[in-house]
Structures are given as structure tokens and as C-alpha cells.
Amino acid sequence: MNQTTAVILARRPDRTFVADDLSLGTIDLPELAAGQALVRNQYMSLDPSTRGRMDPGEKQYTTNFTIGGPLDGSAVGVVVESSSPKLPVGATVRHRLGWREYAVVDDAAATLCDISVAPATAWLSSLGQTGFTAYAGLLPVGRLQPGQTVLVSGAGGAVGSMAGQFARLLGAGRVIGSAGGAEKCAWLRDDCGFDVVINYRDGDFAAELPGAAPDGIDLFFDNVGGWQFAAALQNMAINGRVSMCGAISNFGTQEQPSTACLIEAVLRRITIQGFIVRDYEDLRPEFEQRVIGWLASGELVDRATIVEGIANAGAGLAGLLSGANVGKALVRLSE
Amino acid sequence: MNQTTAVILARRPDRTFVADDLSLGTIDLPELAAGQALVRNQYMSLDPSTRGRMDPGEKQYTTNFTIGGPLDGSAVGVVVESSSPKLPVGATVRHRLGWREYAVVDDAAATLCDISVAPATAWLSSLGQTGFTAYAGLLPVGRLQPGQTVLVSGAGGAVGSMAGQFARLLGAGRVIGSAGGAEKCAWLRDDCGFDVVINYRDGDFAAELPGAAPDGIDLFFDNVGGWQFAAALQNMAINGRVSMCGAISNFGTQEQPSTACLIEAVLRRITIQGFIVRDYEDLRPEFEQRVIGWLASGELVDRATIVEGIANAGAGLAGLLSGANVGKALVRLSE
């Protein structure tokens, strides 16, 4: 094995990403050096941040993709050859070289996944960066206290559905979500235990929010930005906090509200904090312990929308960016 | 004395405030009750927040003015009659009933000003809410550390000129200001000790800022909002902080940037915190002690633009909102 099929950046997207911005190609795999293993990828994660990395601008905390070069991202797979005692053949491992069918990974950059406590897919979802992002945004960033009112935008997505459920499990008094479409809203209410879900596509989010949060929002976990962000600021409690996880509404061509809405941050003494999950790595053990417990007790719903095969990865990402997924979005690369 | 001349809200401004939105009128003064004093106002403070209180919208932390009713705001004056042992005749006191020539004040809502350590005007400026706002925005909110790079927008104004000078006196490594017009810029550089001042009216603020802050901005003390806010976000250091004091650019009819700029808060892990100075009252003793020391040593410049007479108060406020003042804006009501 010295080559593998991989997803290549064919061209930089013209604002709205389309699957044709990517192509399939063949890339070389290096010979295994000491401390490396060859992994057959089983699942890879589709993430909104991948879209940003296709642009040329400075990203501060990560690298941009090169035109003609392969994408990368979180994946789990099975070790099929190994030169590392830490990564035995047959083990399931998580690493950062997805968007290809096989990968040569360094043992320092891979972690073993215990599939006796949770399936491989969960190690990319509730137990992966997805869940950990929700956890960091609620606790160290958002300083959630029991009894507080939490709003999660983009709640039907991977991070949002975890953020709302974690908030409930951590004792929030009221969990409000926004999502696009009746199916997601019903799932969040009926299966994930959200108290109120607003369908931002059908109704008037800004008009419905005051009724959903009559005592004000203590913590707003924002994945969306834009008009939902502006409306949320108008409904924050005094001294409320905004955990800014992302702003998926920026990726498209939607008109955006003006920064004039930020005067509410002064009037209501709001703290808005952007965060990157990698800054909170010291919390991972307590995070994993809690999530494994919630999965075992059945209190946490970990649902994935799974696209089949590497050839459909680009279409899957386009779907993610347009809100087509419910829960975590994954690509199955092999059994 | 049972009546006084006062400034009345004649009508709510149509976006841009004009002096004719106010009128002069006569209001009744109550008989002195126990614990009250009659004060002849000497100086009153002109503040951007007065503009917001003329609108009908909810302000969260203060009250709006009523059409036909008097304005109010910070003032200092001399006690001319007293029914309170705490407010002796002849004392200089600070209170919240400006925008009128005489006021009946409660002793619980008035503080004695020691004019042997600083003139009456300074008790509305460097030693008043103006200076205290700068102090709160730098320390408890902005968590300024020695050696850090600080940007102050609206630096030629009352709070901004204090924020930049306090930052320098508290050990900032580099103090950058933005101001409108060559005179303010020269004053900030030559007299107030700013390291770099950008004239946002003459040049391209967004283009000049990277050169002014080559290592990134650790703390942005924002009085302006809008395009300067958006440009500053693009030049923040990782883990930088924004103390949002106000957004005077919102008051006019200027076009505003979109919230899409806030993605920088995620990428750079920025914390944006709006604040109201009244939440930090426990710091007032240490604040006053420090500022009295800086004034005594001559290290702090406290400059005021003074408008003469209550009839000119509205014109003075219009001037403040258009950036005509250098330093603190005051109205002299009597000797």
C-alpha cells in the first residue's frame, strides 16, 4: 500500500461551497517510520470549520488547504500495519487525517478509542471534538450555573444538539434551541429534551424568542451568528454570557445585521467570548468520564447523519453547510 | 427660591440630535425636607449616554427622559441652603441633578468634593464617572497587565483621554489612540503621552492600524463601535479583550459594518465585554486615591472643553456628539 484515494481541493469556493470545489485524487502514502501506523479509515467527521479552511485568509489557529492538495480532518479507523507499540494492529484510533481512505499516522497524533464503551462513530461525535466543543463552551467559557436559561443556535447540528443536551444534564433551568425545519425541531423537543425549540426557517425568530425566554437568556451558545445573534442580544439577561462557537451564517451569501446590535452588550453588561476547543485540553478526562456515563445511562442521544463513501464527502459537506444533517454529520469510508 | 431654569426635552431626536430637540423651561423646586440641600450648580457634565436616554427604547440600566420633562445628569455645585448635617452650606457637592441651575438634592445621593486636592471640574472628569469609567474598563473589565498593547477609540474625548493616560500610568507597553482631527491627535501625542494616534477622519484607520499595533492589540477600550470596532477585531492579539464602553458611532446616521466581523472573536479567542461603571462602585476608593496622586504629580492631564451657560447646553451636547470637544465636555452654570 503506497497510495490512497483522497479528497482534493480543486478550487477555492466562490462564497457558497459546492461539491465541485472538491475532486477525488490519489496521494502517496509514506513508508511506515518508527512510531507510525497505517490506518484504514472507517468514518470521518464533516465540520463547518472545513469550509473556512478553503479560503485564503489567515485563520489564526489552523492551516488553510492548498489548491491541488488533500483536505484533512478528524477520522477514526482500524490499524492495519504498525511500527508503534502504542498503536497495535486491530486497534481503533482517532486522528486528524480524514478525507482519505488510508492514512499513515504518528502515534503522538492519534488516540486509542475504547469501542467497548461507545461505538466508533461516538468517538467523532459526543466523545469527540464535537462534544468537547459543546462542553468547553458551556463550562469554562460559558460558566453555566444550575437553573440558568440557555439558548443554543443551530441546535439541530452536531455541536448544538450536544450543547443543549449537556446543558440539560448539567442542570440548566431552561434549554431553548433554534433549528431549521420541523423534523429537527421535533427531534430536539421529543428525543433530546429541549424545553422550547424555535424553527427559524418557518417563523420569525426575533418575535418568538421573547416568549421562549421570558426571564432572559443567561447563556447563549452561538453556532450561527447573524440575525439570530442580533435577536439573542436583545433577549439576554443582565450579565449574560455568549459563548461564540462559530457563525455558520457567515459562510453563505445571506445579508448580515450591523454591529449596532452590540450596544446591547453594554446596556446588559454581556460578555461575548469566542473560543477554540483546543485551548481546554486539560478538561478532556472529566469530559470523557461524564459523557461515557451519560451514554451508558441512555440520558444522552448521539445521532448521526451518515453519508456513504469518500466520493460523496463533498456533497455531504455541502449538505452540512446548508443544514441538511440532523445531529453529527459523518462519512463512512469503510466497514 | 422655589423655581429654577432647566433644560427640557422638547421632542425625541430624529436619529441625529440637534440642539432644538431641547428647550429651556422653568421647573418647581420642592421645599427642603430633612436630609436635603439646595445646591447652586456650577458645572454639569455632557455625556454621550444622555443621547440614548432621549430615545423611547428600553435602556436596561437607567431611565429615559420624558417629553416636556427636565433632563438630568452629573453636576457639581455649592450648597446654599441645607437641612442636612452632611451637606453644610458652602460645601462643594457632586450629584445627579444637572441640566438645571439650582437643584434640591438628597444627602444620600450627593457626595462632598474636596476642592483642595482637585478643582470642581476634575470631580466631573478625571475624578468623576468619566475617569472611573476608564478605570473600570481597563482593570476589572479589561484586566490590563503591564507591558500590554492598548487601543483606545474616541481617545480625544473625556473617557478615551483618561483611558489612554491611565493605561500608560498603569504600565501598558504601548498605548494607541484614535481621534478625529489633527488638534486632538497632537494633544494626545504631545501632552497625554500616547505612543501612536491615528486620525480616523483623515486617513484609512483600518489600513493604519496594523502598523500601529504590529504585535496585536491585547486590550481594546472601545467608545466608538462601527468600522473602528471591526478594524480593531482584525488586529487583536490571541486571547485579546475588548472593553465595550459605548458606541458613539451608533448615534448618527453612519452606515455600520456587519456582524460578520465577529468571526474574529472565535478565531482569535477574543472576549468582548460590555460594562456599566456603576457595577464597580467598590473600586472607587482605590480609584480616587490613584487619580488624586496622578493629578498631584502632574502625570495626568485633565482638560475640559467648557460651554458657557445653561442656554448653550444643548449646543454643547450636539458638539460632543459630533466630536467637537477635546477632553471632558462641561457646561458652566455659575461661578
The pair phi, psi for residue B261, each rounded to 5°, is -60, -20
Q: Which of B270, B327, B316, B323 is nearest to B71 (CA)?
A: B316
Q: Looking at residue B15, what is its pLDDT?
A: 84
* Same-domain status, B46 and B68: yes
* B7 lies in the same domain as B98: yes
Q: What percent of chain A has pLDDT over 90?
A: 92
pLDDT at res. B217: 98
CB–CB of B271 and A269 under 8 A?
Answer: no
* Stretch A158-175: mean pLDDT: 98
- What percentage of chain B carries pLDDT values higher than 90? 92
Residue A78 is predicted with a pLDDT of 98
Cell numbers 460559558 correspond to what residue? A142
Whether residue B102 is predicted with pLDDT greater than 80 in this model: the reply is: yes
Tens of pLDDT, residue by residue over B80-97, are 999 999 999 999 999 999
What's the whole-number mean pLDDT along residues B195-216? 95
* 3-state secondary structure labels for all residues of chain B: CCEEEEEEECCCCCCCCCHHHEEEEEEECCCCCCCEEEEEEEEEECCCHHHHCCCCCCCCCCCCCCCCCECCECEEEEEEEECCCCCCCCCEEEECECCECEEEEEHHHCEECCCCCCCHHHHHCCCCHHHHHHHHHHHHHCCCCCCCEEEECCCCEHHHHHHHHHHHHCCCCEEEEEECCHHHHHHHHHCCCCCEEEECCCCCHHHHHHHHCCCCEEEEEECCCHHHHHHHHCCEEEEEEEEECCCHHHCCCCCCCEHHHHHHHHHCCCEEEECCHHHHHHHHHHHHHHHHHHHHHCCCCCCEEEEECHHHHHHHHHHHHCCCCCEEEEEECCC
Confidence of residue B253 (pLDDT cuts 50, 70, 90): low
Unique residue bearing C-alpha cell 430633612: B34
pLDDT, position B61: 79
**What integer pLDDT is reported at residue A37 of this predicted model?**
98
Rounded CA separation B285/B95 (Å)? 17
- Tell me, yes or no, if B258 comes closer than 8 A to chain A by beta carbon: yes
- In a shared domain, residues B232 and B265: yes
Statement: residue A315 has pLDDT above 80: yes
Amino acid identity, position A51: R
A202 and A144, same domain (yes or no): yes
Among candidates B244, B266, B269 on the partner chain, residue whose Cβ is nearest the Cβ of A262: B244
Residue with the bigger pLDDT between A13 and B202: it is A13
Which of A247, A265, A279 is facing B263, going by the closest CB pair?
A: A247
- Contact state of A238 with B267 under an 8 Å Cβ cutoff: no
Domain that holds residue A193: 129-278
Mean pLDDT, residues A31-43 taken together: 98
* Residue B316 near residue B46, CB atoms below 8 Å: yes
Residue B133 CA to residue B143 CA, distance in Å, equals 14
Number of domains in chain A: 2
Q: Is A146 exposed, middle or buried (0-12, 13-18, 19+ CB in 10 A)?
A: exposed
**A244, A270, A271 ranked by CB distance to B262: nearest:** A244
* pLDDT score at A88: 98
Domain-embedded: residue A292? no
Kindly state whether residue B287 falls inside one of the protein's structural domains: no
The tens digit of pLDDT for each residue in A100-130 reads 999 999 999 999 999 999 999 999 999 999 9
CB–CB contact B266 A244 (8 Å): yes
Task: Tell me whether residue A286 is in a domain.
Answer: no
Pairing assessment for the beta strands A271-274 and A236-244 based on DSSP bridges: parallel
Of A238, A250, A275, the CB nearest to B260: A250
Predicted local confidence at residue A38, as pLDDT: 98
| A274 and B CB contact within 8 Å | yes
Residue A84 falls within a domain, yes or no? Answer: yes
Q: Are residues B101 and B145 in the same domain?
A: no
In 10 A of CB B254, how many CB atoms?
12
Q: What is the gyration radius of the CA atoms in chain B, in angstroms?
A: 20
- Considering only CB atoms, which chain A residues are within 8 Å of B63? none
- In three-state secondary structure terms, B258 is strand
Range 153-182 of B in CB contact (< 8 A) with A: none
pLDDT value for A253 = 67
DSSP string, A30-54: PPPPTTEEEEEEEEEE--THHHHTT
How sure is the predictor about A15, in pLDDT bands with cuts at 50, 70 and 90?
confident
Gap between the Cα atoms of A40 and A86, Å rounded: 17
Mean per-residue pLDDT over chain B, rounded = 96
Residues A75 and A199 in one domain: no
Smallest CA–CA separation between A103 and chain B, in Å?
28
Specify the amino acid at residue A216. G
**Cα–Cα distance for residue pair B203/A262, rounded to 1 Å:** 25
**Lowest-pLDDT range, A31-35, A65-69, A117-121, B254-258?**
B254-258
Q: Does A254 reach chain B within 8 Å, measured CB to CB? A: no
Asked whether the beta carbons of residue B263 and residue A225 sit closer than 8 angstroms, the reply is: yes
* B260 close to A (CB below 8 A): yes
Residue A1 or A194, more confident: A194
Q: Do B260 and A256 touch (CB under 8 A)?
A: yes
- Report yes or no: A312 at the B interface, CB cutoff 8 Å: no
Asked if residue A63 and residue A161 are part of one domain, the reply reads no
Query: Can you say whether the dihedral through the CA atoms of A318, A324, A327, A333 is positive or negative?
Result: negative
Determine the 3-state secondary structure of A249 from DSSP: helix
Contact B225 A263 (CB under 8 A): yes
Does residue A287 form part of some domain?
no
**B276 contacts A266? CB cut-off 8 A:** yes
CATH number for the domain harbouring residue B221? 3.40.50.720
Note whether A133 and A271 are same-domain residues: yes
Q: What is the CATH number of the domain that holds B19?
A: 3.90.180.10
Confidence of residue B215 (pLDDT cuts 50, 70, 90): very high
Residues A236 and A161 in one domain: yes
Residue A276 contacts B where some CB pair is shorter than 8 Å: yes
pLDDT digits (tens, 9 = 90+) for B255-296: 899 999 999 999 999 999 999 999 999 999 999 999 999 999
- Neighbour count for residue A223 (Cβ, 10 Å): 27
Q: Could B60 and A267 be called an inter-chain contact, meaning their C-beta atoms sit closer than 8 Å?
A: yes
- State yes or no: pLDDT of A222 exceeds 70: yes
B216 near A CB under 8 A: no
A101 and A219 belong to one structural domain: no
Residues A116 and A214 in one domain: no
Q: How many helices (H) and strands (E) does chain B have?
A: 9, 15
Residue B296 burial (CB count, 10 A):
11
Nearest CB to A259; choose among B256, B263, B270: B256
Chain B partners within 8 Å of A261 (Cβ): 259
Cα angle for residues A96, A100, A104 (degrees, 5° grid): 60
- Contact status, residue B119 vs residue B125, Cβ threshold 8 Å: no
Please check whether residue B139 lies inside any domain of the structure: yes
Q: Report whether pLDDT(A13) > 80.
A: yes
State residue B312's pLDDT score: 97
| Chain B CB within 8 Å of residue A57 CB | no
> Is B268 an interface residue toward A (CB < 8 Å)?
yes
Residue A36, in any domain of the structure: yes
Q: How confident is the model at residue B131 (pLDDT cuts 50, 70, 90)?
A: very high
Inform me whether the pLDDT recorded for A177 exceeds 70. Answer: yes
Cell 431641547 sits on residue: B22
Residue A97 pLDDT: 98
Amino acid B251: pLDDT: 77
How sure is the predictor about B27, in pLDDT bands with cuts at 50, 70 and 90? very high
* pLDDT at site A251: 78
Q: Is B270 on the interface with A (CB under 8 A)?
A: yes
Quick one: closest CA in B to A265, which residue?
B274
CB contact under 8 A, A274 and B271: yes
pLDDT of res. B118: 96
Q: Tell if the CB–CB gap between B225 and A260 is shorter than 8 Å.
A: yes
Residue-wise pLDDT for B148-184, tens only, equals: 999 999 999 999 999 999 999 999 999 999 999 999 9
Partner-chain contact A256 B256, CB within 8 Å? no
Question: What pLDDT is attached to residue B1?
Answer: 67
Rounded to a whole number of angstroms, the distance from the CA of B49 to the nearest CA of chain A is: 11
With residues binned 3-state (H G I as helix, E B as strand, rest as coil), the percentages for chain B, rounded to 5, are 35, 30, 40
Q: Do B268 and A274 touch (CB under 8 A)?
A: yes
Residues of chain B with C-beta less than 8 angstroms from the C-beta of A253: none
Is residue A318 domain-resident? yes
Chain A hits for B247, Cβ within 8 Å: 259-260, 262-263, 266
User: Is some CB atom of chain B closer than 8 A to the CB atom of A64?
Assistant: no
User: Do B222 and B321 share a structural domain?
Assistant: no
Question: pLDDT by residue (tens digit) across A234-257?
Answer: 999 999 999 999 998 887 767 899
Question: What pLDDT was estimated at residue A1?
Answer: 67
pLDDT given at position A335? 86
Contact at CB, B268 and A226, closer than 8 angstroms: no
| Average pLDDT of chain A, as a whole number | 96
What per-residue confidence (pLDDT) applies to B335? 86
Q: What is the per-residue pLDDT for A249? A: 87
